[in-house]
Structure 1
Amino acid sequence: MSASDRTPIGRVIALAIGLAAVVGVIVLAFSWPSITADPRDLPIAVSGPAEAVDAVTANVDEAQPGVIAFTEVDDRDAAVDAIAQREVYGAVVLGTEPEVLTSGAASTVVSQLLGGVAGQLETAVNAQAQQAAAAAGAPQAPPHIDVAVTDVVPLAEADERGTGLAAAMFPLVLGGIIGGVAISLAVLGALRRVLAVVVYSAVGAIAIVSIMQLWFGVLQGDSWMNVAGIALGLAAIAAPITGLVALMGRAGLALGAVVMMLVANPISAAAFPMEFLVQPWGAVGQWFPPGAAATLVRDLSYFPAADASFPWLVLGTWALAGALCSLIGHFRTAGGAEPDREAAVAAA
């Protein structure tokens, strides 16, 4: 091999540095959300006498500033309804029988946090009871008041820690990316790619639900609704990739995969509530397919009373946008607007 056949040293060094930079970006994308995760303004319901509510909210905010944003509700039933509709993660019910309501299906991390609040509340109410008894000259200490902790929407017995539900999201995202890339490379014809995405999403969703619900018991609820939600999630990830390929050629592969894996997936809040992410990234993540799919799958499994119209709309919009890009690429190529043969083949 002659010297002229070898890769120039400058290009070798540039390639190595570029690849190292890519590794750094990947590490940053996947480590940043978990390392910087810190709860802020978690919506929690509270009900009870006004004085008790004011005292508890003040004590909690003093102990954990900015962590919990309390929302007053009428009673325990209203608090349970708010949890079931995913308006809050839990509730504090005050009165003669104080109780803390949690929702393991919404977030095990928040449930643990509320368990700590229950301990603080129990200490406070017993201290107040003892002070009141002493002031009244009672001959003996009042009976101990227990603060019950009730999980009103628990996780499935097969997934008591919620790790299976969180883990189910990564195959969905990765499957959507792999499907979009593979279809773009293996199928010629933009309209055929749209058909391939539809078939792949439907069959892939059936496979995921068969494994995660019928076999492992991680997913709950109506299995066919879960199939529909996961199928739309797969299509919302795969279709934009094939659509970008129809518009841009092979460059669309890289752009679509990078956006879904390195941008949208880390801020999807699939493993912990979006309030744990630095704002506004938690809310922004819900506008991308991974975040919307994670929310929808959780709603369908455990919160049928919740309004899931937003994640359905987000996923549907991404899937339709991807199909529309494929159609635009098809007609542009068919009209002869793209003279480059490689781009024409990629978009055909």
Structure 2
Amino acid sequence: MSTSTSDHTDSTRRTAHEPAAPTVRHTKWGLAVAFGLAGAVVVALIVLAFLWPVATAEPRNLPIAISGPSAQVDGLEAALDEKTGGLFAYTRVDDRAAAVAAIQDRSVYGAIVLGQAPEVLTAGAANVSVAQQLTGLAAQLQQQLAAQVAAAGGDASQVKVAVTDVVPLSANDPNGAALAVASFPLVLGEMLGGILVSFLVVGTWRRVTALVVYGVAAGLAVTAILQPWFGVLQGDFLINALALGLAMFATASLIVGLNALIGRAGIAVGAILTILVANPISSATLPHQFLAGPWGDIGQFFVPGAASTLVRSLSYFPAADTAAQWLTLVAWAAAGLLLSILGHFRNQAPVALPESELDPLPANAA
């Protein structure tokens, strides 16, 4: 009997010392509804940011070269302006060779050559949709010239307007789909590198080292995928890798720098700036002249826009002046590094990193 009582007492004592089951406290109903509405607002803003540039884009002021007899050129420009409502901005050149040179240095998207052998010059590598528009223009031009010849008593059937793609896309990406699709994953990759370094690396110079390693490795890896593997890019492999690596380093360093300066909120600021502001106005898939107001030009001074233009120029337009794009990427990279240095005192502890992966504290550390 005493044994049973003792067992009961021990059981009671153990039960008394066992922690009570935790009580789960629920979110207030009003706050739950507010969070749901906040999520809806975020989604709406994301959709608006990506849809707005496309929905408000208007084909206009598209630079093209034009050459030929002055009277013919004047008549053609007037007819095109009346029919297209100001779609084209004309640059008069002396001859076909000058028109080709203007296309190759990206001064214009295409050209119209009048005279004895009328021809429309396109550049599929500059923009596929513009090349298609110019190809359609060739058919209209042929009808117009044929009508003029017939009115003058000539043989309209002899009028032929040739179409020549001066700078075609790679045979492995004839429609430019892969090049356009690659732009957004590249932006996400740029952000991911910055986020990982911000969370997992402690120490200003260690973060800078991690960013450099990331930029070099990612530039080489992505270029290897886009160039020798899938054949989307052309030109010098190492120069393309340098451009892509610098773009990734620039965005990643900005995120790391903002995180160093203002804390974890800096990561959100960098992501919003990159995804919701810079990427939608990067003009990766349409000419920057088509975007409303000055946004197309502004977009070229952010990393996604500068990187997209630079990579396309390096791959297909080696004669183009790329100084502005290189300087833009370098400026953003330098800004990120400067922010990292200014915020060196905010070296937050890494997330879920084992103690063995961290340097020991100095002997005189508190």
TM-score (norm 1): 0.92
- The one-letter code sitting in structure 2 at the alignment partner of 1:229 is A
Q: Given the alignment, which residue of 103, 119, 128 partners 1:83? A: 103
Distance 1:143 1:5, change over 3 A: closer
Q: Given the alignment, which residue of 333, 338, 348 partners 1:345? A: 348
Q: Does 1:177 align with 2:191?
A: yes
**Larger-gyration structure (1/2):** 2
Q: Does 1:326 align with 2:340?
A: yes
Q: Does 1:145 align with 2:165?
A: no
Deviations 1:180-206 (A, max 9, x none): 111101111122111111100110111
2: CA distance, partners of 1:346 / 1:72: 61
Q: Which residue of 1 aligns with 2:6?
A: none
Q: Given the alignment, which residue of 285, 289, 293 partners 1:271? A: 285
2: CA distance, partners of 1:325 / 1:346: 18
- The one-letter code sitting in structure 1 at the alignment partner of 2:118 is P
Q: Which residue of 1 aligns with 2:247?
A: 233
Structure 1: gaps (5+ residues): 334-342
- The one-letter code sitting in structure 2 at the alignment partner of 1:240 is L
Aligned 8 A contact 1:172 1:233 in 2: no
Deviations 1:118-148 (A, max 9, x none): 1111001110000001xxxx7xx45420100
Q: Which residue of 2 aligns with 1:302?
A: 316
Could you say what secondary structure the match of 1:157 adopts? coil
Q: Does 1:46 align with 2:49?
A: no
1: CA distance, partners of 2:262 / 2:142: 62
The alpha-carbon deviation at position 6 of structure 1 amounts to 1.5
Q: Does 1:159 align with 2:158?
A: no
Question: How much is the aligned-residue C-alpha RMSD, in angstroms?
Answer: 1.6
Q: Given the alignment, which residue of 94, 115, 118 partners 1:74? A: 94
Aligned 8 A contact 2:299 2:305 in 1: yes
2: CA distance, partners of 1:266 / 1:142: 47
1: CA distance, partners of 2:30 / 2:269: 26
Distance 1:131 1:179, change over 3 A: same
Q: Does 1:6 align with 2:20?
A: no
**1:178-257 correspondence to structure 2 within 5 Å:** 178-257=192-271
Could you say what secondary structure the match of 2:164 adopts? strand
Aligned length: 330
The alpha-carbon deviation at position 14 of structure 1 amounts to 1.4
- The one-letter code sitting in structure 2 at the alignment partner of 1:256 is G
- The one-letter code sitting in structure 2 at the alignment partner of 1:257 is A
Q: Given the alignment, which residue of 307, 313, 338 partners 2:327? A: 313
Deviations 1:25-83 (A, max 9, x none): 01111112222222110000000001000111111111101211111011110000000
Distance 1:163 1:247, change over 3 A: same
Deviations 1:141-196 (A, max 9, x none): 45420100000000010000001111221222111001111110111112211111
Q: Does 1:117 align with 2:131?
A: no
1: CA distance, partners of 2:27 / 2:183: 42
Q: Which residue of 1 aligns with 2:54?
A: 34
Deviations 1:264-283 (A, max 9, x none): 00000001111121121110
Runs of 4+ in 1 over 3 A off after TM superposition: 1-4
Aligned 8 A contact 1:89 1:103 in 2: yes
The alpha-carbon deviation at position 344 of structure 1 amounts to 4.8
Aligned 8 A contact 2:203 2:347 in 1: no
TM-score (norm 2): 0.87
- The one-letter code sitting in structure 2 at the alignment partner of 1:301 is S
Could you say what secondary structure the match of 2:273 adopts? helix
Could you say what secondary structure the match of 1:173 adopts? helix
1: CA distance, partners of 2:220 / 2:54: 31
2: CA distance, partners of 1:323 / 1:299: 27
- The one-letter code sitting in structure 2 at the alignment partner of 1:51 is A
Structure 2: gaps (5+ residues): 1-20, 351-366
Deviations 1:217-273 (A, max 9, x none): 000110100000000110111110000001001000100011001110000000111
